[in-house]
Structure 1
Amino acid sequence: MARERVVGLDIGTVGVRAVEMELAGPGRGGTIHRIGEVPLPPGVVRDAEVIEKGPVSAAIKKLWSSDGMSAKRVVMGVGNQRVVVRNMTMPRMPIGQLRQAAVYQAQETLPMSVDEALTDFLPTHEFVDGNGDSVAGLFVAAGKDTVSLNVLAVESAGVSPAVVDLNAFALMRAASLEHGGATIACVDIGARVTNVVISHEGRPQLVRVIAAGGQDATDGLARVLKTTDAEAENLKRQMGLSSSVPAGLEEAARTIQVSVRNIVDPVVSTLSYYGSQIRGPQISMLVLTGGGAQLPGLGQYLASAARLPATLGSPFSGVQWTKSAGRERFADRESSFAVAVGLALGGAA
């Protein structure tokens, strides 16, 4: 009997990506049958939030028609600075009561009214302290308008999302499939947004969304050198963080370094916060994904700043492939599909 197929749909700043998988079960991976990506015009998605529905819907339609996506169950992701994820500890109680209590506890400090938010509470572990039986977990709140705009863009393409998931949780699933139960920090560097999720044994411990990404360096180079985005992107990829800077490109090198520090410094601060406030199991490694993670030298720089080993994530390593899926088309950018793979895996949760 054939297993259910699920499509993980990732709407990014510069493109939409989808992975159709036949799932083996929770935490067990699956088989990729279809995979594809379609670029988006500049500005139609800003900071992982749909601004112009029409071009995004058109890209999704093209993705479905050109790459043959057929699964009816679709899991789409959200993840920007308008999504709040906070660590929270409460007395142990049934999950329904936990969710209600979490909203009550968080409402005074949320940057939005609870009536304007979609909320959830994800328990991570139970423990006993001076207050008795307690539950630690993550409280998630997303603006209804943010989610609605993204969902509407998908539905306008003739696709009905069955689940809306958090991009950070998708990253955790993809990385956990590759690295097992280790305590890892996943750092997904997109064009405008960087997602950080620290997980232990496949469970999230801390989530942060950073409003900085790889496109910032491209924009800076285009501005400094008075050139096109395409030429600036190519130069950025060629130069990376090399200590050997060609004559005349010193300002360009400084521009790249400043943009990278705007990503690395908040990531390191997040890791420090985890160590001092969450006090969970010690992080064993950094797993880098996303298009921005492929900048030459960035991995070494982040590893040095965080004093942790870093590796480029390969979300395809934990899954199987059909011969017709065409894995070779994406051999040079596997890590860019980490969110899409993790969203598809979420269909088995």
Structure 2
Amino acid sequence: MAKTRVIGLDIGTTQVRATEVELSAGRGGRGGQPTLLRAGEVPLPFGAVRDGEVSEPSTVGTAIKQLWSQQKFSHKNVVIGIGNQRVVVRELDLPAMPLPELKASLPFQVQDLLPVAVEDAILDYLPTGSRAGEHGPVVSGLLVAATKDTVRANIAAVRAAGLRPVSVDLSAFALARALPAVSDDVHTVALVDIGARVTTVVIVANGVPSLVRLLPTGGQDATDAVQQALNVPTVEAEALKRQIGFGYATAPEHDAAARALATATTSLVESIRNTFVYYAASHPGAAAQAVYLTGGASQLPGLGQYLSSASRLPVTLGQPLGSVALGRGAALDGRLAEEQHRLAVSVGLAMGAAA
């Protein structure tokens, strides 16, 4: 049985994370459960990544080098994730044709749908279904358009670290691979990955991403709100944020911080809930039935309960390690299971090679 080791690299606003997964392919290209071999993260200096986009490739490259030195990954080929406000993802129906031809036709099909010129964007398309249209068969799917500058900045950071980018994938699609949550009773789920500056919402129906929304806010915005309300250092504001949480009684001296945190959290939850409402309205009878939270900012005390109350859906913490076996080295890391919600994107990026 052939085995391939793939490394997924997730460049966030405050951390770079990477996961090495071993994939097995038997006869017919079908393999068994992937095995996680190594995983780790390294913090990024403030400003190295802004709004989910690399602004200082050399600084990010240095952090990636440090991560490779710490974790001893077996090679230097990586799959990179992208997902920020300069990535457009929208539902799009197109005339049915073989997928290579369909992708080749995208520049002519979508030039009037994008906020940037087609020549400045990298285009892709994920088919999600088909139906009979008025003028013949139609393919339904998701159009992905990323500005070339965004992709180039990530690639520059990876190359600055001495690594080789072998492919670029949408972080939202990685989430859908890392968190398979379809069961006999639950067919449609919402995956919500809350990062520092970007929150990714993916609606997955019968195992296929059906809607993607990239929201321009995250956990760091809540920290900023506390910091500005109290005029304290960011480190202190972050600690206060996690101490106070959302929806809990607070001491009088923390009232100002609690109000600021509540305003920021409410705004984020409303944006997430509105995405669920939009999907339910545009897909009658197929609304999300459950929510899975991941991301470094998903652990704010009370956030899950508030999102559940606002959306009237069960909300649980995503378990990306449930989709992989743990290698001996990974199993020895006691932190891994506790912090796996932070690894969902990098796990899914690595698993993309088996898709």
TM range (shorter): over 0.9
Write out aligned runs for 1:318-333 (5 A): 318-325=323-330, 326-333=332-339
Corresponding residue number in structure 1 for 2:98 = 94
**Deviation at residue 72 of structure 1 after TM alignment:** 4.4
Corresponding residue number in structure 2 for 1:19 = 19
Task: Indicate conservation of the 8 Å contact 1:124/1:138, yes or no.
Answer: yes
The answer to whether structure 1 residue 227 and structure 2 residue 219 are counterparts is no
Write out aligned runs for 1:254-293 (5 A): 254-279=259-284, 281-293=286-298
CA distance in 2 between partners of 1:15 and 1:82 (Å): 20
Task: Indicate conservation of the 8 Å contact 1:20/1:35, yes or no.
Answer: yes
Q: For structure 1, which runs of at least 5 residues remain unmatched after alignment?
A: none
SS of 2:145's partner is: strand
Amino acid at match of 2:229: V
CA deviation string 1:10-60 (max 9, x = no partner): 000001000001014578541111111100001100111100011100111
Change (3 A) 1:116 1:214: same
**Deviation at residue 128 of structure 1 after TM alignment:** 1.9
CA deviation string 1:130-171 (max 9, x = no partner): 443211001110000110010111011111011100000001
SS of 1:69's partner is: coil
Write out aligned runs for 1:171-190 (5 A): 171-176=175-180, 179=182, 182-190=187-195
Structure 1 counterpart of 2:345, from 329, 339, 345? 339
Task: Indicate conservation of the 8 Å contact 2:35/2:325, yes or no.
Answer: yes
SS of 2:88's partner is: strand
Q: Bigger CA drift: 63-72 or 125-134?
A: 125-134
Task: Indicate conservation of the 8 Å contact 1:6/1:72, yes or no.
Answer: no
Task: Indicate conservation of the 8 Å contact 1:199/1:206, yes or no.
Answer: yes
CA distance in 1 between partners of 2:32 and 2:135 (Å): 37
SS of 2:334's partner is: helix
Give TM-score, length-normalised by structure 2. 0.93
Give TM-score, length-normalised by structure 1. 0.95
Q: Bigger CA drift: 331-340 or 75-84?
A: 331-340
CA distance in 1 between partners of 2:212 and 2:293 (Å): 15
**Deviation at residue 201 of structure 1 after TM alignment:** 2.2
Write out aligned runs for 1:1-349 (5 A): 1=1, 3-24=3-24, 29-176=33-180, 179=182, 182-279=187-284, 281-325=286-330, 326-349=332-355
CA deviation string 1:298-348 (max 9, x = no partner): 111111111111111011122111222243123332101100111011121
SS of 2:176's partner is: helix
SS of 2:179's partner is: helix
SS of 1:327's partner is: coil
Give the count of matched residue pairs. Answer: 348
SS of 1:134's partner is: strand
**Deviation at residue 251 of structure 1 after TM alignment:** 1.6
Amino acid at match of 1:8: G
Task: Indicate conservation of the 8 Å contact 2:248/2:302, yes or no.
Answer: no
Amino acid at match of 1:121: Y
CA distance in 1 between partners of 2:2 and 2:135 (Å): 49
Task: Indicate conservation of the 8 Å contact 2:276/2:287, yes or no.
Answer: no
Q: For structure 2, which runs of at least 5 residues remain unmatched after alignment?
A: none
Task: Indicate conservation of the 8 Å contact 1:20/1:344, yes or no.
Answer: yes
Task: Indicate conservation of the 8 Å contact 2:182/2:207, yes or no.
Answer: no
Amino acid at match of 1:241: F
Q: Bigger CA drift: 253-262 or 276-285?
A: 276-285
Amino acid at match of 1:3: K
Task: Indicate conservation of the 8 Å contact 2:20/2:38, yes or no.
Answer: yes
